Structures are given as C-alpha cells and as structure tokens.
Copies of this chain bind each other. A is one copy, B any other.
Amino acid sequence: MKRAVVLCSGGLDSTVAAAEARAAGYELYLLSIHYGQRHAVELSRIPQIAETLGAAKSLVLALDLRAMGGSALTDEVSVPKDRTADEIGNGIPPTYVPARNTIFLAIALGWAEIVRAEKIYFGANVLDYSGYPDCRPEFLRAFEMLAKIGTKAGVEGWQVRIEAPLLKMTKAEIIRRGVALQAPLHLTHSCYDPDIAGRACGRCDSCRLRLKGFAEAGLADPVEYVAMKPAS
C-alpha cells in the first residue's frame, strides 16, 4: 500500500488534508509537532483523529521553539481578536512563526524517507492566510526541489512530493470537503487562545475564519465555543 506522511496539527485544515490522503488510497503516517504552541489542546485530539482515520502510525515529536521566541503562538504576547476577514488576510499576521512550515516539512521529509512515503500531505491554504510566506505554492515547489536534491531518496531516483489539497480552497469549501470525506471535524480544534477547559475563544483570527467558513457552508460547527463571532 502506498504511503503518505500527513502533517497533522489536530486542526480543521490538516485533518481534512489527512482525510484527502486516505481518500486517495494512502496508508497514513500522521506527524504532529509539539513546538510549544499555546494552543497545544489541538494535539490532545491527535490519538482520536488517528484512530478515526485508521492511520497506520501517529507520531508526536516535541521541538520547543519557545526557546527561540519570536511569535504570538509561542510567546506571551496577545493574540489579535475580533478582526475582520480583510484585516486577517492583510500582510503577514503576528501569529507567523519563523520558518515553521520549513521546519515541519523538513521533519516530515525525514520520516517520509524512512518509511518510503511518496507524498507529504500538508494542509496549507493561501486564501484565508495569504500573509504566510511559507504557505505559498512557490514555497511548496521550492521545498520539493530541495527534497529531491537533499535526500538519499532523491539521489536514488524516487521523489517525495508535497500534496497541499486545500491550497486554494475557501474555508467553506474545506469544511464541505471534510464533511464529504467523513473527516472527524468534531474532534478538530483551531483556536489560538482556548480557555482553561479547552473551549475555543470564538474571537481570534483562526476561530473567526472557521466560524465564517461553517456559516458560508451552511453548517453548524460541532465544537464548543466561549463566544461565537464569525469574521465579517
């Protein structure tokens, strides 16, 4: 059975990306990186998500990027709240984590080479977060090129490809696709700033885009919120 490493944070997009890999016939190797993000509650859902998707293996690696500082997700700075979709999409967001996706893809590449996976599935999306430089298609192509040059696999003639099936989908389309693929959306978590019980805040960029997406898809979000304010 052909194999895919799936970068899975336990969030909505990466869980739908995992469901896409499964639907494409891949045996799933779910890779999650605990990098010191404050929304680590996402990762607590990984075992259930892995089980629901029938993953062959689920690996959670710790890499504490907090020691480097530099981001709203890992530092003790405030997460922006109540921004509109336009404000969220404008420029590089403060939640940008330097080189995060390069780091994640590099680790995924290592695992892909070890288990001989031909694909890395990655839930990157350019529409809602155009500001992240490491979600852009040209970044993904550059990474594939690097993977070809920099691995034993590439030298021996088999290549690890990056698959980003959600790259140009709207959040509503991702949600509809997730429902169609029976992705366990009820287990996913997207909030940058959950409360102590793990409930989504409903007000950070990630919550607002998610709620807007469910509203546009005409569906109810199955997860629990402290407040519900879809981005206008």
Contacts and interface: CB of A to CB of B under 8 A. Distances in A.
A96 interface: yes
A204 B98 CA distance: 37
B110 A150 contact: no
A24 interface: no
A145 B70 CA distance: 22
Nearest to A153: B98
A119 B83 CA distance: 36
21 contacts: A61-B65, A62-B62, A62-B63, A68-B111, A97-B110, A98-B109, A98-B110, A98-B113, A98-B151, A98-B153, A99-B106, A99-B151, A100-B110, A102-B110, A102-B151, A103-B110, A133-B155, A139-B146, A142-B150, A145-B145, A146-B146
A226 interface: no
Nearest to A156: B92
Interface in A57-100: 59, 61-65, 67-70, 92, 96-100
Interface of A: 59, 61-65, 67-70, 92, 96-103, 105-107, 109-111, 113-114, 133-134, 136, 138-139, 142-143, 145-147, 149-155
A71 to B, nearest CB: 8
A146 to B, nearest CB: 5
B98 A114 contact: yes
Given A142-B146, A151-B133, A154-B133, A61 B59 contact: no
Given A61-B63, A62-B63, A142-B142, A110 B151 contact: no
Residue from A111, A138, A139, A149 whose CB has the most chain B CB atoms within 10 Å: A149
A150 B109 CA distance: 16
A134 B106 contact: no
Contacts of A146: 102, 139, 142-143, 145-146
Contact of A61 (B67, B100, B110): B67
